[in-house]
């Protein structure tokens, strides 16, 4: 790869690496109780099911599928991306070797979006030059995203991707017959566009309207003037919180190799906790020392501290907590020092014991790269008020979407 004074041209801008992470694109859990997990994320949190795929359908994975308690993958989303959350059986991790470094890895992927296919290919070459373990390259189906997978120092699978399939108003994904465009190697450039791919499928006689279709149940809760099946709407995923063995080593991996920027460092009971970002959000990734896990009373079965899900407003956050408590879900108190940049938040356990962080606001970092001073942050009251005074960046991080449902 050509460089200019040691830097790479990324769309006309010079960076220390040949890619720039834009956001957390999707995430995944391997679950002991897959059925209950799918019900929790779909029925209670509102992640729509966009595809259900059995690994046995891929000849190269048929033998692996036979060894799994359940070889199905469930792809879910909150918006138009084909998937934001992938749910699989716990056997997937052990069979693919995700937990060979640490037996507590129940995360099947932490996936970051870059801007172009060229960046994915460039990242693959960059990782090879740096001697980084590359686990997979190519293009996934379902989802259609081009990718490169690497392992972080604790064994978590980290994916960089481009071009995930979009699910439109018909709520229908690509049919299995279009999976002939699946790749298991780094692609040669240029590749055909999505529109050309659809035209090619039609020319082959494929019924492009025959893919999986999700049917949302009728809504009974009014959310911002629209009837939804629950009194809130997830509008973003992340941040991801990880328990790590060596915070300094993990910080080096994510900052020097992947380009994250450290926003803030918190000392909690003498332990270093790091909060990293790749955009204007206060943090999209948090690193916590693993010995903090037991002290917080969290499950030792997973290295995931928290998986963040942002909802559309403060009012929706209050309603989400009430709704989930009425459904019998268990909440855990997490010290506010461990989620700087977020004010009001609640933490609920999924059926496997993963901690899900519900929030409505993420502090934004401006052009000077400095977070808000702690003294200027909102003081969270033990008794949540009915309404809040706005901050300068309240709702500034909410993505614009189509209809809520």
pTM over 0.85: yes
Residue 99: per-residue pLDDT: 67
Q: pLDDT by residue (tens digit) across 138-157?
A: 999 999 999 999 999 999 99
85-89 and 23-31 beta bridge pairing: parallel
Distances (CA, A) of 218 to 75, 276, 311, 395, 405: 21, 39, 20, 28, 10
Average pLDDT of the residues in 4-31: 96
Answer yes or no: is pLDDT of 303 > 80: yes
Q: pLDDT by residue (tens digit) across 353-393?
A: 999 999 999 999 999 999 999 999 999 999 999 999 999 99
Instruction: Please give the share of the chain, as a percent, with pLDDT higher than 90.
Output: 89
Question: Whole-angstrom Cα distance, residue 173 to residue 51?
Answer: 7
Range of weakest confidence among 42-51, 63-72, 375-384: 63-72
Answer yes or no: is pLDDT of 280 > 70: yes
Answer yes or no: is pLDDT of 22 > 70: yes
Question: Whole-angstrom Cα distance, residue 267 to residue 302?
Answer: 23
Average pLDDT of the residues in 6-13: 96
- Chain-wide mean pLDDT for the chain? 95
Average pLDDT of the residues in 14-32: 97
Average pLDDT of the residues in 278-305: 96
DSSP code string of 38-82: HHIIIIIT-PEEEEEEEGGGSGGGHHHHHTSS--EEEEEESSSBS
Domains of the chain with bracketed CATH? 8-216 (3.10.180.10), 226-376 (3.10.180.10)
Range of weakest confidence among 62-66, 126-130, 274-278: 62-66
Binned at pLDDT 50, 70 and 90, residue 345 comes out as very high
Answer yes or no: is pLDDT of 276 > 70: yes
């Amino acid at each position: 790869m050509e460089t200019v004074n040691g830097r790479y041209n990324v769309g006309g801008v010079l960076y220390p690496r040949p890619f720039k992470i834009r956001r957390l694109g999707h995430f995944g859990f391997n679950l002991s109780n897959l059925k209950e997990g799918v019900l929790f994320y779909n029925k209670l949190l509102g992640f729509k099911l966009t595809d259900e795929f059995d690994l046995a359908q891929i000849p190269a994975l048929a033998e692996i599928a036979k060894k799994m308690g359940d070889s199905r993958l469930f792809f879910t989303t909150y918006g138009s991306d084909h998937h934001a959350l992938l749910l699989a059986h716990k056997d997937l991790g052990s069979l693919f070797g995700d937990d060979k470094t640490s037996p507590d890895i129940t995360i099947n992927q932490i996936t970051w979006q870059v801007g172009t296919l060229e960046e994915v290919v460039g990242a693959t070459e960059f990782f090879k030059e740096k001697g980084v373990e590359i686990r997979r390259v190519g293009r996934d189906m379902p989802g259609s995203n081009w990718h490169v997978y690497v392992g972080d120092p604790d064994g978590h699978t980290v994916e960089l991707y481009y071009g995930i399939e979009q699910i439109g108003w018909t709520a229908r994904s690509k049919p299995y017959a279009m999976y002939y465009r699946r790749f298991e190697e780094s692609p040669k450039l240029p590749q055909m566009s999505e529109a050309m791919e659809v035209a090619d499928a039609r020319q082959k006689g494929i019924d492009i309207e025959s893919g999986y279709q999700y049917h949302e149940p009728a809504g009974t809760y009014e959310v911002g003037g629209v009837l939804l099946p629950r009194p809130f709407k997830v509008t973003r995923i992340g941040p991801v919180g990880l328990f790590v063995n060596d915070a300094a080593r993990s910080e080096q991996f994510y900052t020097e190799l992947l380009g994250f920027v450290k926003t803030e460092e918190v000392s909690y009971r003498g332990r270093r906790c790091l909060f990293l970002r790749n955009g204007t959000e206060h943090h999209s990734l948090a690193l916590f020392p693993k010995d903090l896990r037991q002290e917080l009373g969290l499950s030792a079965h997973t290295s995931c501290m928290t998986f963040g899900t942002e909802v559309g407003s403060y009012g929706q956050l209050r309603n989400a907590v009430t709704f989930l408590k009425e459904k019998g879900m268990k909440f855990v108190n997490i010290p506010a020092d461990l989620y700087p940049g977020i004010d009001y938040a609640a933490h609920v356990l999924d059926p496997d014991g993963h901690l899900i962080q519900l929030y409505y606001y993420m502090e934004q970092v401006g052009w000077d790269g400095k977070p808000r001073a702690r003294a200027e942050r909102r003081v969270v009251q033990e008794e949540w008020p009915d309404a809040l005074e706005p901050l300068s960046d309240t709702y500034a991080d909410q993505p614009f979407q189509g209809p809520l449902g």
